[in-house]
Chains A and B, each alone.
Chain A
Amino acid sequence: MALLKAEELCYHYRTKAQTVRAVDGVSLELERGGFYALTGRSGSGKSTLLSLLAGLETPMSGRITVNGIELKRDVLTLYRRNTASVIFQSFNLFPLMTVKENCMYPLLLQKRSERDAERIACGMLEKVGLDGTYFKRLPAQLSGGEQQRAAIARTLAAGTELVFADEPTGNLDPKTGGQIISLLRSVSHDEKRCVLVVTHDLSIADAADAVFRMSGGRLEE
């Protein structure tokens, strides 16, 4: 059984002037241990689809089942907390929390002990290349790329089965970007988690197990 199954998802943005069909009848399946890429031109609806899959928004029609359970409003909070996490296009770190505290936050939400959370968070920060000298800094005291990595570390540290990433390498130099991609790959392949990366980077698409292409709110075959 697929880990995540989406059927005929639709999401429209209604503005006064017009209705934008950002996601328009998308169906897809994601398997445990898979490393997927989602590409498409700017404005094709990738981020919107991601937000639906990650439970940040609810689709206007269609349904998503994860592990055989349908995502309805009442399970969304726990879904976001325990099952799916997102690396955002803009980093979205808590500005007044240190890098380490930011990484511990989702773990504490999962009711892990303070000590466990600290251990996991520090381990993950080191994996993305942020050593102990960064732990006590606030996000504003990091470069854009370092913030990006801190955000990636926070998402991966949460240990959820589903990881969604919205252009995670956009702010990184090719070498660090490559390291992050291999980290994401190893997360999916070695830890049997499922990673979906939105990207314009063809090298990531090449590394993926499968590539979804989007255009005008629909998936191309």
Chain B
Amino acid sequence: MALWLYERTLLLRRPIRPLSAALLLCALMLFPPLLARQADVKRAAVENALDSIPVSVVLSDIRGTGTEDIGLPRTIGDGFFDDRPGTTGEYVYGVLAKSSVCYSIGGEGFTSERRLIGLSALEAERGFTPAGGNRIEWLGCEGESLFYGSREACAAPKELFSALEPDPDGVYRVRLRLRPYPAAEMQETQIVLKVAGVHDRGADVYCPLGLIRRICTDMAAPMYYDSLRAEVKSNRGLPALKALLSEHFAGIDPFADPYEYMRKGVYAAAVIHDEQLNQTVDALEKDIRTLETLKPFLLIFECAAAGFASFFLVHSRRRELALACALGVRMRAAVIAAAAELLILLVPGAAVRNVIFGFGAEAAALGSISVCTLSGGCAAALAAGARRFELLKESE
């Protein structure tokens, strides 16, 4: 058909306009899936942050002034070590806890400076962390695994150790008189501990946390945790953990009356250190929201751009179209030819888009852009056909 002939001639002899239109359409079609992919990348980053950014729980006193000597009742502290469903331990691991009783040697009195401190791991005592600077010199083949069980062994202060004589079997042993801390009643018991290591940090003796539990049980005295912190197992469990913690712990209240809180059954403040996680996730979610808000506006803009581009592409040939109609081309055929050409121009963009993003990605956007392209071109073709006589009168 003769009209196709002219369309073909146009494409071959003056390809600049159709080519730039095809390029523009390609760019327009790439935008929405690009945006969607960007949002997906951000969503994946949120997941990644939830998976990888460490979050810890630290218990402090109700005023938030200290994390030592918080006096947490045993029943609540033990929940951190229990990993049955519904307990705090289900959500945390690596619990670093400390609990203590007072000791004395021989006939001396009890003071709060001399304590037998039970640790769930070496790092539970800040002084023994790399940042703390103190070390334990282990005797024989002993090591920090000492703290994992409930053996009757300890790391003793240098001063105390130097006063000891080894037993016939070459092992140093120390006999301690013990009282609960904080001292409530006058229960007292005695224990003999093997000295497994020596430290130079104050007068406290360090033993496994399990041993303190046993001692308190034996004395029928209440046990209290002095400090407790733990790592969160999975950040996805954070809301459940927070709900669980809020049963026993308050948020930090700098003006709180601790006794008031104790009467209410709230023992301390639980601080969840998820600042880094929140910062990261918030920033990402803000980006996602921005992208989502941008999406409809971008689509409207793109549809308009596609419609205008195709309108002007066809409009730039309105005279030729009018002429074709004057020579006996049906208006319908003219519109179909314009639409067909635009469809051909849409193909490269759609193909590139499908190769990069797959067919399903933002198919609605692709459809809208295509429809607007076709409508713009058809409108221009119709207008030119209808104004054929006027257009032909215009001098070139």
| A-to-B contact residues, CB < 8 Å | 47, 51, 56-57, 77-82, 85-86, 88-92, 94-97, 101, 105-106, 108-110, 158
Q: Is the CB of A92 within 8 A of B319?
A: yes
Q: List 7 A-B contacts (CB under 8 A).
A: A56-B392, A77-B330, A80-B326, A90-B395, A92-B392, A96-B9, A96-B14
Q: Is the CB of A109 within 8 A of B392?
A: no
Please give, as numbers and ranges, the residues of chain B lying within 8 Å of A109 by CB-CB distance: 1-2, 327-329
| B-to-A contact residues, CB < 8 Å | 1-2, 5-6, 9-10, 13-14, 319-320, 323, 325-331, 388-389, 392-396
Q: Is the CB of B388 within 8 A of A56?
A: yes
Please give, as numbers and ranges, the residues of chain A lying within 8 Å of B394 by CB-CB distance: 90
Q: Please give the distance in Å from B99's CB to the nearest CB on chain A.
A: 93
- How many A-B contacts are there with CB distance less than 8 Å? 68
Please give, as numbers and ranges, the residues of chain B lying within 8 Å of A101 by CB-CB distance: 5, 9
Q: Please give the distance in Å from B63's CB to the nearest CB on chain A.
A: 82
Known: A56-B392, A89-B393, A92-B319. A81 touches B9 (CB 8 A): no
Please give, as numbers and ranges, the residues of chain B lying within 8 Å of A90 by CB-CB distance: 392-396
Known: A90-B394, A90-B396. A106 touches B328 (CB 8 A): yes
How many angstroms between the C-alpha atoms of A106 and B324 in the bound complex?
9
Known: A51-B389, A90-B392, A90-B394. A96 touches B10 (CB 8 A): yes
Please give, as numbers and ranges, the residues of chain A lying within 8 Å of B389 by CB-CB distance: 51, 56-57
Please give, as numbers and ranges, the residues of chain B lying within 8 Å of A88 by CB-CB distance: 392-393
Q: Is the CB of B396 within 8 A of A91?
A: yes
Q: Is the CB of B329 within 8 A of A77?
A: yes
Please give, as numbers and ranges, the residues of chain B lying within 8 Å of A79 by CB-CB distance: 328
Of all chain B residues, which has the CB nearest A108? B2
Please give, as numbers and ranges, the residues of chain B lying within 8 Å of A94 by CB-CB distance: 6, 9, 320, 323
Q: Please give the distance in Å from A171's CB to the nearest CB on chain B.
A: 11
Please give, as numbers and ranges, the residues of chain A lying within 8 Å of B396 by CB-CB distance: 90-91
Please give, as numbers and ranges, the residues of chain B lying within 8 Å of A96 by CB-CB distance: 6, 9-10, 13-14
Q: Is the CB of A47 within 8 A of B328?
A: no
Q: Is the CB of B327 within 8 A of A108?
A: no
Query: Top 7 A-B pairs ranked by shortest CB distance?
Result: A81-B328, A108-B2, A80-B328, A56-B389, A109-B2, A90-B395, A96-B13
Cross-interface CB contact of B5 among A51, A77, A80, A105, cutoff 8 Å: A105
A101-B5, A105-B327, A108-B1 provided; 6 other pairs, C-beta below 8 A?
A: A77-B329, A88-B393, A105-B6, A106-B327, A109-B327, A109-B329
Q: Please give the distance in Å from A10's CB to the nearest CB on chain B.
A: 16
